[in-house]
Amino acid sequence: MKIGVVSPASLGNPDMVAPASAFAAVAYPEIDLVFHPQCFAVDGHFAGSDALRASAFLEFANDASFDAIWFGRGGYGSNRILAEAIPKLGPAARHKAYVGYSDMGFLLAALYARRIGRPTHGPMVTDINRTKGDETVARTLGWLARGDRQGLEPGLGGKPSVCLNLSILTAIIGTPWLPDLKNHVLIVEEVSEAMYAIDRMLFHMANATQLRGIAGVRLGAVTAIKPNEPEWGETLEYMMTRWCGEMGVPYLGRAEVGHSQANHVVPFGMI
């Protein structure tokens, strides 16, 4: 299985290459892991210019020799290449899996909206550098190479699911990049936000007309919460119950996804 690695957003992490390649070679010898040179380009905040990042993504996505695209890392910036890249995806792009999370939600959502390939929320290459990072990336590689279901989020099943950062979700509401999520379970997670900002995003989610008809909402990890002055005073569970009630959909509890070692795989749609 040939897996191409690109970084459509923030600066890549060269320290991810050796451990990820070594782990894949030993644990998944059937995988040929190929890093695009763009992963290590530098243009201010980004892993190369918008044009370079779009070109690299298109090069690997439209190459029929690749079975999957595995995103190197998130950060910010994949939204800036959507208009350039998505319309240029050809037939070969429709037969691949695309795996990432965080900022990569922009691309995963856009792909799913157009039913291109198999968009999947899951650990990225850079997660190899977490504590027990081999266990983390094994969830992605096992799913891609062997269809191993042990790395799937345990609560999946029954209805199609989609998993996104709240910040990514709220950014694409009202745009053509948001998929039709009727009858889907929407899983959300977040990182590095204050509680008031999370509440504001939940308000946006609850009142978005494009999300009418979803089957319910689950909450993944909310990590690295920024201090709130004064103290916020509400729990995440209370906030989720309140806004799901206003949305008119059930709050379906927690999910094992997010910016942590415990991040699990969520294929968009049915598994």
The answer to whether residues 19 and 133 touch, using CB atoms and an 8 Å cutoff, is: yes
Q: pLDDT tens-digit profile of 20-78?
A: 999 999 999 999 999 999 999 999 999 999 999 999 999 999 999 999 999 999 999 99
Residue 54 confidence (pLDDT): 98
The answer to whether residues 31 and 145 touch, using CB atoms and an 8 Å cutoff, is: yes
Please report, as a single letter, which amino acid is at residue 244. Answer: C
For residue 13, pLDDT over 90 is answered with no
Cβ-count burial 104-139 (b if 16+ within 10 Å, e if not): bbbbbbbbbbbebbbbbbbbbbbbbebeebbebbbb
What is the percent of the chain where pLDDT is above 90?
A: 98
> Residue 227: is it exposed, middle or buried by C-beta count within 10 angstroms (0-12/13-18/19+)?
exposed
Give me the mean pLDDT over the 119-138 stretch. Answer: 97
Read off the pTM. 0.97
Residue 80 confidence (pLDDT): 98
CA 149 centroid distance within chain: 18
Q: pLDDT tens-digit profile of 73-113?
A: 999 999 999 999 999 999 999 999 999 999 999 999 999 99
Q: pLDDT tens-digit profile of 213-226?
A: 999 999 999 999 99
Residue 25 confidence (pLDDT): 97
CA distance 225 to 245: 24
Please report, as a single letter, which amino acid is at residue 93. Answer: A
Residue 264 confidence class, pLDDT cut points 50, 70, 90: very high
For residue 131 the two structure tokens come to: 């504590």
Residue 184 confidence class, pLDDT cut points 50, 70, 90: very high
Q: Which residues is 186 bridged to in the sheet? A: 162, 217
Q: Measured between alpha carbons, how far is residue 252 from residues 190, 236, 249 in Å? A: 17, 13, 9
Residue 72 confidence (pLDDT): 97
Residue 76 confidence (pLDDT): 97
For residue 12, pLDDT over 90 is answered with no
For residue 153, pLDDT over 90 is answered with yes
Strand positions, DSSP E, the chain: 2-6, 32-35, 68-71, 97-100, 118-121, 161-165, 185-191, 216-223, 251-254, 266-267
CA distance 228 to 195: 7
